[in-house]
Amino acid sequence: MTTIAEILEQLASRKPLTDQQADYMFGRLMNGELTPAQAGAFLMGLRAKGEDSTDLAAGVRAGLEHALTIPGYDGTRAEPVIDTCGTGGDGSCSVNCSTAVALFLADMGFKVAKHGNRALSSSCGSADALEALGVPLELTPEQAAESLDRHNFAFLFAPQYHPAFRHIMPVRRELGIRTLFNFMGPLLNPARPSHQLLGVGDPERLQLMGETLLLTGVEKALLVSGAGGMDELTTWGANRGYLIHDGVMEKTTVNPDRLGFKAHSPEDVRVTDKAHAVDSLRKILAGNGPAAMMDMVALNLAGCLNLLGKGTMRECADMARDAVNQGLTKELPHAG
């Protein structure tokens, strides 16, 4: 077995790791078996070399192996389970689109395991928004399974489901720079969703994220970078990305104008603070939000419905607009 020192030396020479080397290092990292100096050198070495899908897939495999599991939700269910999330960090300060989409999907009868966290670079993260709506955050795995079965929705609060990350967070904080872990969040859903809409703010990372999903297993996924580098499908320009299905990844483009959406602007979906974000989300879920925000939610909802096999993108766009304009028909799952 190659030693830790030899692997670090290899990274210092900017040479790629094998699957076995990457799995070994991430396993040691998640187990807390690397010293802070070794962990920092490993993460810095990966970045200096240039992270590839071998590295990211090894990190995802180790992260999922150490995550809490959801009873009955292990990626082998007959019915689809979907997640809607983005990498964040696009600096857009936009409304919580993926959260709204997740709730509309659940309202329409689809199982949605929403994996997320509090705000890191935005004014209001998915956890902050759902908490303000009264949706329970810190569910045990058993409670999450029950919520999925009863309400078609469960929020999986990332810090609660990934206890091994306690070995990594101090090192990331001390480094103070982007590491591979900035890309891992959307890939670490412990419910192992079969379908995924994944927004990637940096279009140069689309291929990396797609290759990693192929390596770690997903039935069908749409990875997109919106116009202007947003991690959502946007209505003001072409959205480029990859469609993954049947073990194949192919380039795709989503043109909102061909789906009947008006071209709004990024400013029209921006929120100024948490209070504004939550108020906008409430209005969207009630079917009376600002037109630009409603349209962006409908466009992303259409992408999910298409992934779930509910029709062509045009048919799904019409279905999504109807659902969003109607608003939620059922009550949200509430704490207590």
Q: How many CA atoms lie within 13 A of 248 on its CB side?
A: 4
Where residue 225 falls (left for φ over 0; alpha for ψ -120 to 50; beta otherwise) is beta
CB 22 within 8 A of CB 58: yes
Q: How is residue 17 written in tokens?
A: 């790791």
Q: How is residue 156 written in tokens?
A: 């999986």
Within-domain flag for 309: yes
Residues 203 and 139 in one domain: yes
Residues 131 and 11 in one domain: no
With a CB cutoff of 8 Å and minimum separation 6, the contacts of 210 are 221, 223, 241, 242, 244, 249
User: pLDDT tens, position by position, for the chain (336 residues)?
Assistant: 589 999 999 999 999 999 999 999 999 999 999 999 999 999 999 999 999 999 999 999 999 999 999 999 988 888 999 999 888 765 667 899 999 999 999 999 999 999 988 866 566 789 999 999 999 998 999 999 999 999 999 999 999 999 999 999 899 889 988 889 888 989 999 999 999 999 998 899 999 999 999 988 899 999 999 998 899 999 999 999 999 998 999 999 999 999 999 999 999 999 999 999 999 999 999 999 999 999 999 999 999 999 999 999 999 999 999 999 999 999 998 855
Dihedral of CA atoms 89, 92, 93, 96 in degrees, nearest 10, equals -80
Q: What angle do CA 12, 87, 151 make, to 5 degrees?
A: 135
Structural domain boundaries enclosing 20? 4-50
Residues 37 and 92 in one domain: no
Residues 35 and 147 in one domain: no
Where residue 192 falls (left for φ over 0; alpha for ψ -120 to 50; beta otherwise) is left
Residues 230 and 141 in one domain: yes
Residues 8 and 131 in one domain: no
Within-domain flag for 175: no
Residues 41 and 89 in one domain: no
Where residue 316 falls (left for φ over 0; alpha for ψ -120 to 50; beta otherwise) is alpha
Alpha-carbon torsion (100, 57, 7, 15), positive or negative: negative
Within-domain flag for 41: yes
b/e burial code for range 309-322 (CB count within 10 A of at least 16 → b): eeeebeebbbbbbe
Residues 139 and 33 in one domain: no
Domain count for the chain, please give it.
2
Within-domain flag for 70: no
CB 27 within 8 A of CB 64: no
Residues 126 and 219 in one domain: yes
